Amino acid sequence: MDRLDIKLWKLASKGQIVPDRSLLKTPEQIEAIKKSAALNTAVLDHVQAHICEGMSTAQIDKLVYDFTTEHGGIPAPLNYEGFPRSVCTSINDVICHGIPCEDEILKDGDIINVDVSTILNGYFSDASRMFTIGNISPRAEKLVRTTKECVELGLKAAKPWGHLGDIAWAINSHARANGYSVVEDIGGHGIGLEFHEDPFVSYVTPKGSEMVLVPGMMFTIEPMINEGSPDFCVDEDNGWTVYTIDGGLSAQIEYMVLITENDVEVLTK
């Protein structure tokens, strides 16, 4: 065993949850994934430059598909387990997995999460942003702002050889302090060689719990913050779109990060 194997074995022997070595990216894999992440960021920048009131979510989907494919990539959501579009567009009370369509038009006061995922040369990347349309209400502005703060606090709490629970505790504490709840059963995930890898990244677990953050790990920080209940329902017709159970607003921002020897690197956001 090398030094890393020995360290992981010692941690596991003390009851710590450690990643399988297959979850730790090699330097060569990291460089290839970073290229995918750079394209993913460029796609989100492209959406940000064009999104506006009066646009349909189908037009957002076309922006994503055209830009991604013109730059040699593939939209990861397209046909993933039957998902019919290239991007997820989640408006107001939609928590996640909103399906773009022609008759869904952005209007003044809307908040929308645009979740972009990219495959480039077989490597995966993923991030999402919140966009505000026109003049949003003070309650919507606070939710979006607090969600951004939650992600930044989660990122700050992530340290090499810390725990996923440290991220969760920072996020959940800040959300609850502002009167919000965090969705429990949908969370972040490992990424890079596949669209969704281990570990599942919860945002409601205690500090010091869950998997140890080992250099080479790559995953998303993407809490879903609700105005009211953390509970949700899934659209029975399409099987994808997740709504708040009480009709309250929801917001999500997603960063993709890499644990390094000394820090945490944001690959796309």
Q: How confident is the model over 163-180, as a mean pLDDT? A: 98
CA–CA gap between residue 98 and residue 251 (Å, rounded):
12
Compute how many other C-beta atoms are within 10 angstroms of the C-beta atom of residue 103: 7
CA–CA gap between residue 267 and residue 253 (Å, rounded):
14
The whole model's pTM is what? 0.96
Domains, in order of start, for the chain: 24-268 (3.90.230.10)
Q: Do 142 and 178 touch, CB atoms closer than 8 A?
A: yes
Measure the CA angle with vertex 97, ends 93 and 99; round to 5°: 95
CA–CA gap between residue 133 and residue 131 (Å, rounded):
7
SS3 assignment, position 50: helix
What pLDDT is attached to residue 1?
64
Q: Does residue 191 have a pLDDT over 70?
A: yes
What pLDDT is attached to residue 105?
98
Q: What is the pLDDT of residues 38-89, one digit of tens each?
A: 999 999 999 999 999 999 999 999 999 999 999 999 999 999 999 999 999 9
